[in-house]
Amino acid sequence: MTNPGWYDQGLSHLWLPYTQMKTSPAPLAVARTKGSRITLADGRELVDGIGSWWTAVHGYNHPHIQLAIEEQTARMPHVMLGGLVHEQAARLAARLAAILPGGLTRVFFSDSGSVAVEVAMKMALQYWLNQGVRTRTKFLAFKGGYHGDTFATMAVCDPEEGMHALFRGILAEHPVIDLPRDDETIAAFDTFLESHADQLAAILVEPLVQGAGGMIFHDEKTLKRLRAAADKHGVLLIFDEIFTGFGRTGAMFACQAGEVAPDIMTLGKGLSGGALPLAGTAASQKVFDAFWSDDPQHALMHGPTFMGNALACAAANASLDLFERENRLLAANEIGKAMGRQLGRCLGLPGVKDVRVRGGVGVVELDRIEENAGTLCRRFVDMGVWIRPFRNVVYLTPALTISDDELQKLTGAIVSVLGG
């Protein structure tokens, strides 16, 4: 099919993410979006099963979010937060503080999830430095974890199973161990902390679902175990909710399912409803108090140029309106029930290792993907759906507004492709 002129002119200059551009299939040209649909430039329409990397929780082009962006554009698209502040950022910080768990009362805005995690790490390190403690410089992370692609965040991803093994020996080295989920791993976790807790600035984990590391699930007891261990050893606890936050797992924030609160939490992806780049790092009063000082050196010296962007904050405030007005959490859990029934048909298919669902996350884990993941993706496109497998998982993270028919089209395509 013929691509538009902009496609041929521009593709030779674009550098695409996670793509070996010499051998991968050419990307699809997109003309527009609406709800849970992506319309390609050639007129084909796809039901989106992954919500643009898990961001479009209300679907695309939601009129309430669009209107908020349009009105904010007319007033003020952006102003620096250095020495200035504006209504949208102030309102958003206050609204987040009201709904975040466990007294996370201060929010630092940035423009990507990786940066939000870097800020969390910097906060944790400086929390100790401001108290004269210079020995707590390490972060305890977990196998199967993913926290971003910048240099600090690559160092706390799974070094064996992740996408950053190429940089081994160059990155800072942090301990990465098994999540404490059974007798053996709990014992190893406890032993590690007994020997090394005094070197740790913080423990870092994705609560309930480790996303890009393989859609690996763990339960609420694991979070409570981490909280108890952090308290026992005087270590900060960071929850990376960039993927799991804003209804994705069936609660507003995943950690709320276990009634556990961290000292620092990272937010992103669904924060703006998927409309504009925005991320945040929320801290408890205990953490913030370590920066409250007459000494200017105790300030958090970080400031992304576009932090607290007025357009993005307006979109995020509109997104929170929708969470307040419409029961997205009920929708996530209903979507989960439907995916459990429909994806359950994959059990017993050749090569299927597991099917698991949590809220608006549905996963079919394979022994391995026999063909190139890009080729498998194109087979889904031929069935009218946008599903992008990675590693050994085929997964769905649809908009929480998706219709029953659209969801059935997604799950039916998975059953058909994996069964054929």
Q: Which pLDDT score, from 0 to 100, does residue 62 have?
A: 98
pLDDT digits (tens, 9 = 90+) for 308-330: 999 999 999 999 999 999 999 99
Helices (H), 55-156: 63-75, 87-99, 113-129, 151-154
Q: Determine if the pTM surpasses 0.85.
A: yes
Question: Phi first, then psi: what are they for 137, rounded to 5°?
Answer: -120, 0
Could you give the CA distance from residue 27 to residue 30 in angstroms, rounded to a whole number? 9
Q: Which pLDDT score, from 0 to 100, does residue 374 have?
A: 81
The DSSP output letter for 197 is G
Contact present, 358 and 250 (Cβ < 8 Å): yes
Question: Angle at the Cα of 65 (from 339 to 362), degrees rounded to 5?
Answer: 15
**Pairing mode, if any, of strands 264-267 and 279-284?**
antiparallel
Is residue 162's pLDDT more than 70? no
Is residue 377's pLDDT more than 90? yes
Q: Which pLDDT score, from 0 to 100, does residue 165 have?
A: 83
Average pLDDT over residues 50-62: 97
pLDDT digits (tens, 9 = 90+) for 1-43: 678 999 999 999 999 999 989 998 899 999 999 999 999 999 9
Could you give the CA distance from residue 74 to residue 81 in angstroms, rounded to a whole number? 19
Is residue 222's pLDDT more than 70? yes
Render 76-89 in DSSP notation, one character per residue.
Answer: -S----SS---HHH
Mean pLDDT of the chain: 96
Q: Which pLDDT score, from 0 to 100, does residue 1 have?
A: 63
pLDDT digits (tens, 9 = 90+) for 282-295: 999 999 999 999 99
Give the burial class of 206: count Cβ atoms within 10 A of its Cβ; 0-12 exposed, 13-18 middle, 19 or more buried. Answer: buried
Contact present, 224 and 181 (Cβ < 8 Å): no
Amino acid at 205: V
Average pLDDT over residues 390-413: 97
Query: What is the length of the chain?
Result: 420
Average pLDDT over residues 394-410: 98
Average pLDDT over residues 122-147: 98
CATH superfamily of 5-61+327-419: Aspartate Aminotransferase, domain 1 (3.90.1150.10)
pLDDT digits (tens, 9 = 90+) for 73-110: 999 999 999 999 999 999 999 999 999 999 999 999 99
The DSSP output letter for 162 is S
Contact present, 346 and 352 (Cβ < 8 Å): yes
Question: Angle at the Cα of 68 (from 45 to 81), degrees rounded to 5?
Answer: 120
- What is the CATH T-level fold of the domain 76-325, as seen in this structure? Aspartate Aminotransferase; domain 2 (3.40.640)
Residue spans per domain, the chain: 5-61+327-419, 76-325
Residues belonging to the active site: 18, 146, 240, 269
**Helix, strand, coil percentages in the chain from 3-state DSSP, rounded to 5:** 40, 20, 40
